């Protein structure tokens, strides 16, 4: 329509159009826009380039995203971040981390969101050495005040690498940890078998000015397998708060009852759930097996 009216699209027009194509994963239209842009090179600027990299990456076309990046004479920090994020989005963590190291060597500026994403990729690849180097970079940089996004990323990273001591230290070094950081450390304690510490942290959180979210309750439930009655009280609190409507909360409750050898309660909860996903079924069947209900497990497998 804009062409029919005699107006030539500019860079801002293409940025808006590409953003729409990215959100809709409209691959064909995005490619057509790219071709039109290169026929009118005056429309191409750093904003358009960054949008193109992001568009191709989000559509899973990493080779095309890399070609756009490589064709950029002077990629800026946003361009680097866009390409690295694309690699992470497509599960190519190692390649993304390699690009991140290259960006640092070229003096690219990184922000807290960029660092958080890289820490997530480091955790996925269990790259403890690289993650610790990023942590050192954070401390030395303007991010040294430990932005909450970075704090949470560090806690998750160290926990997934099995270093609860370093996760705890990152939490303790934060000036005023926000809820996400509390939830991350509680979840890390549960994952690494430190249930008592998770419960202690949860109790401290309850006595603070912060209110646990549904994610916090989901994270801490696994710590109550050895204190069943307290776990049941947490279940009541969850219902009172209305958090039981979330499927991941229901699945966490199923897991709690199964690990607490309270299979009847687990089965009743499963029957009361409005929807069942793969996690629900897997948790229920695993609970049947661990409780010795083998016939029930086989019956659920054949439903």
DSSP state of 4: T
**Nearest alpha-carbon partner for 238 in 204, 209, 202, 267:** 202
Contact 48, 57 (CB under 8 A): no
Chain segment 53-81, per-residue pLDDT in tens: 999 999 999 999 999 999 988 888 888 98
List CB contacts of 108: < 8 A, sequence separation 6 or more.
Answer: 76, 77, 80
Q: What are phi and psi of 291, to 5 degrees?
A: -95, 0
- Please, are residues 103 and 84 in contact by the beta-carbon 8 Å criterion? yes
For 63, the token pair is 């080779």
Backbone angles phi, psi at 120, to 5 degrees: -60, -40
**Torsion sign, CA atoms 166, 167, 170, 174:** negative
pTM score: 0.76
107: left (phi over 0), alpha (psi -120 to 50) or beta: left
Q: Which residue is associated with the tokens 């955790």?
A: 123
| Residue 269 phi, psi dihedral angles, 5° rounding | -65, -40
pLDDT digits (tens, 9 = 90+) for 78-125: 889 889 989 988 989 889 888 988 888 888 877 777 787 788 888 888
Query: What does the pLDDT look like over 128-173, one tens digit per residue?
Result: 988 898 888 777 766 655 678 889 999 999 999 999 999 999 999 8
Q: Residue 260 and residue 274: Cα distance in Å, rounded?
A: 23
CB atoms within 10 A of CB 252: 23
């Amino acid at each position: 329509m804009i062409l029919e009216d005699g107006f030539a699209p500019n860079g801002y027009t293409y940025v808006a159009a590409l953003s729409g194509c990215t959100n809709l994963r409209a691959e064909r239209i995005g490619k057509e826009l790219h071709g039109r842009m290169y026929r009118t090179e005056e429309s191409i600027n750093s904003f358009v380039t960054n949008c193109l990299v992001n568009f191709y990456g989000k559509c899973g076309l990493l080779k095309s995203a890399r070609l756009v990046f490589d064709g950029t004479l002077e990629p800026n920090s946003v361009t680097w971040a866009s390409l690295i994020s694309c690699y992470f989005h497509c599960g190519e963590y190692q390649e993304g981390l390699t690009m991140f190291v290259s960006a640092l060597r070229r003096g690219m500026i990184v922000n807290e969101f960029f660092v958080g994403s890289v820490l997530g990729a480091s955790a996925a690849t269990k790259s403890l050495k690289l993650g610790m180097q990023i942590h050192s970079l954070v401390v030395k940089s303007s991010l040294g005040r430990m932005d909450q996004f970075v704090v949470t990323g560090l806690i998750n990273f160290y926990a997934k690498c099995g270093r609860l001591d370093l996760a705890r230290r990152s939490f303790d070094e934060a000036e005023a940890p926000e809820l996400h950081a509390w939830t991350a450390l509680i979840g890390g304690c549960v994952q690494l078998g430190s249930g008592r510490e998770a419960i202690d942290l949860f109790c401290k959180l309850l006595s603070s000015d912060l209110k646990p979210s549904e994610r916090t309750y989901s994270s801490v439930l696994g710590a109550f397998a050895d204190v069943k009655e307290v776990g049941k009280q947490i279940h009541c609190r969850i219902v009172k708060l209305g958090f039981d409507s979330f499927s991941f909360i229901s699945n966490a409750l199923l897991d709690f009852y199964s690990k607490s050898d309270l299979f009847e309660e687990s089965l009743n909860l499963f029957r009361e759930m409005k929807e069942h996903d793969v996690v629900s079924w897997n948790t229920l069947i695993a609970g049947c097996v661990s409780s010795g209900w083998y016939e029930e497990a086989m019956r659920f497998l054949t439903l």
